[in-house]
Copies of this chain bind each other. A is one copy, B any other.
Amino acid sequence: MSVVTTPSTSDPAVDFDTAPDRYRHWRLAVDGPVATLTLTVDPAGGIVPGYELKMNSYDLGVDIELYDAVQRLRFEHPGVKAVVITGGLERMFCAGANIRMLAQSSHAWKVNFCKFTNETRNGIEDASEHSGQVYLAALNGAAAGGGYELALACETIVLVDDGSSAVSLPEVPLLGVLPGTGGLTRVVDKRLVRRDRADVFATKTEGIRGETAVRWGLVDEAVPRGRFDERIAALAADAVARSSRPDGVAGVRLTPLRREVTADAITYPHVRATIDRTARRVDITVAGPAEGPPDDPGAQGVDYWPLAVTRALDDLILRLRTNEPELGTWVFRTRGDLDTVLAHDAALGGDGWFAGEVRHYWKRTLKRLDVTSRSLVAVVDPGSCFGGLLAELLWAADRQYMLDGVYEDVDADAEPADVVVTEANLGTYRMGNGLSRLESRFWGHPELLAAVPVGERLDARAAEELGLVTMALDDIDFDDELRIALEERASLSPDALTGMEASNRFVGPETVETKVFGRLTAWQNWIFVRPNASGPDGALRRFGTGQRADFDPKRV
């Protein structure tokens, strides 16, 4: 990855490209069906200047490498069935997010950092649950804060029992903030630790070790150092034996993304984003496939259209979120042949690990949209190809505008746009709340969902009637209505929009994931901007100075 400073924000611009031979902090070693990810953070390798990454503490750059490794394990290593995450230092597995980094970072940077690291941990859980690639945390030393939260994302946590190594969440007592990557939620809702014990644990700077950590459910096993490696190997072998992952299959190399970046556009082979800084808007167009699905998608590798689109959109979302915070509205369009999209959609539903990995990756990328704090608008007009997997973009958006007919003064002979719902829209790409986007859309109205015909071309009238789009308008009204809506959006409070959208996007049931992104993130955002954390006398700023934080004692 690399960093330059952009004019529009005081935070550095980040890019998310990396590869194992460029890692500075992680080492990825593959030994047959078992991979080992070893964290040895280069203290001088911070993604921005101003702090040293001591004691295996991390910043965004460290996590970009982890994300890259998790992705490559799924695509490049079909034969890997168990992944051991461990540390390369003596006695310290990982100290969590670097505190000086947090203290010097802007609010937006901290929030974005937490969001990305959360997504990476959800990706680890996704691999264990859906991909037969089970993660094991081998805590060969202390796991503090984000270090323990990384372990919490693994299916099994083994802590070395050496009389001193502990797991801990010292954020509340030391820093006056919350654990930023889902620690509180996973302790009570995933590890099912009793809430009073969670309270004790999360206020105990030194954490909990050994047998007590096991009894409370904070870790699965505490193993003496002498038997540690052997036990980890045995657990990895167990995971391998249980895995659904295929044998003897060739992986798909994640070669560098093709991407062109200019001042007002980011362009990939199938995705193009154009930036209007005055309007504070990005127009994102996803192009459909030029050809139908191949007989052997794996042979196309990263050029397989669904994978190429997914990679581009994933990268684009990350770049826009991190580097372009002032572009508050993202407008999605598609261009291409709807039937060819539908052919790909159907083929992607087939068996095989590669199709499965592409589906899960598309699912994870759509989930990034769901938790993106930007207003998302979808526009359906002639030439568009919103069907099946691409139609998920429609319903990921906060609103859908569909042109009823054609732009008479542009091309009176164009074909009006249709939308097509496929089986893939009924559960393949579930949101963090466990529902499909259509289930969320029709939450509480199963009869409306049941009335949506699958596989049929639906014109603007039909789509509006069925509730698939917010409004269908003819070309006399369409442009005005859309323009006014986008201008209005740009005029509203960015913060209020963030809160409103976070609320509207997640109706119905909640999960660990939605609790982390909804409840916990919201509290953390609040705490981050309070003087008790981030003020000059707050806990984050005072940490390490020898001075205690000076708190406003009012409880709110």
Binding site for B on A (CB under 8 A): 9, 107-108, 111-112, 171-173, 175-178, 184-185, 188-189, 192, 194-200, 202-203, 280, 325-328, 373-374, 397-400, 440-445, 467, 470, 488-489, 492-505, 507-510, 515, 518-520, 522-527, 529-530, 532-533, 539, 549, 551-556
Q: Are B177 and A551 in contact (CB under 8 A)?
A: no
Q: Are B195 and A505 in contact (CB under 8 A)?
A: yes
Q: How far is the CA of A522 from the CA of B175 in the complex (A)?
A: 19
User: A199-B398, A444-B192 known; A185 and B503 CB under 8 Å?
Assistant: yes
Q: Are B196 and A470 in contact (CB under 8 A)?
A: yes
Q: Are B492 and A556 in contact (CB under 8 A)?
A: no
Q: How far is the CA of A509 from the CA of B509 in the complex (A)?
A: 8
Shortest CB–CB separation between residue A507 and chain B, in angstroms?
Answer: 4
Q: Are A539 and B503 in contact (CB under 8 A)?
A: no
- A203 CB contacts on chain B under 8 angstroms: 488-489, 492, 500
Q: Are B526 and A176 in contact (CB under 8 A)?
A: no
User: A194-B467, A195-B507, A529-B530 known; A556 and B523 CB under 8 Å?
Assistant: no
Most buried by B among A172, A325, A397, A445: A172
Shortest CB–CB separation between residue A184 and chain B, in angstroms?
Answer: 4
Q: Are B492 and A325 in contact (CB under 8 A)?
A: no
Shortest CB–CB separation between residue A32 and chain B, in angstroms?
Answer: 35
- A499 CB contacts on chain B under 8 angstroms: 178, 520, 523-524, 526-527
Most buried by B among A192, A515, A554: A554
- A202 CB contacts on chain B under 8 angstroms: 500, 504
- A195 CB contacts on chain B under 8 angstroms: 398, 440-441, 443, 504-505, 507
The closest CB in chain B to the CB of A171 belongs to B496
If A496-B539, A503-B520 are given as contacts, then 17 extra A-B residue pairs at C-beta distance below 8 Å, sorted by A number, are A107-B556, A111-B556, A173-B492, A178-B499, A188-B504, A192-B443, A192-B444, A196-B400, A200-B399, A327-B555, A373-B555, A494-B551, A499-B523, A503-B515, A518-B518, A523-B525, A529-B530
- A192 CB contacts on chain B under 8 angstroms: 443-445
Q: Are B199 and A501 in contact (CB under 8 A)?
A: yes
- A493 CB contacts on chain B under 8 angstroms: 172, 176-177, 527, 532-533, 539, 549, 551
Shortest CB–CB separation between residue A187 and chain B, in angstroms?
Answer: 8
The closest CB in chain B to the CB of A522 belongs to B522
Q: Which of B496, B529, B539 is the one whose CB lies under 8 Å from A172?
A: B496
Q: Are B525 and A399 in contact (CB under 8 A)?
A: no
- A549 CB contacts on chain B under 8 angstroms: 493
- A177 CB contacts on chain B under 8 angstroms: 493, 496
User: A400-B196, A440-B195, A553-B328 known; A503 and B519 CB under 8 Å?
Assistant: yes
User: A444-B192, A499-B523, A523-B502 known; A172 and B492 CB under 8 Å?
Assistant: yes
Q: How far is the CA of A325 from the CA of B555 in the complex (A)?
A: 5
The closest CB in chain B to the CB of A502 belongs to B523
Closest 10 pairs (CB-CB, A-B):
A176-B493, A192-B444, A522-B522, A499-B523, A510-B510, A526-B526, A325-B554, A184-B503, A196-B470, A518-B519
Q: Are B189 and A495 in contact (CB under 8 A)?
A: no
Q: How far is the CA of A316 from the CA of B363 in the complex (A)?
A: 49
Q: How far is the CA of A555 from the CA of B326 in the complex (A)?
A: 6
Q: How far is the CA of A328 from the CA of B203 in the complex (A)?
A: 15
Q: Which of B175, B400, B525, B554 is the one whose CB lies under 8 Å from A494?
A: B554
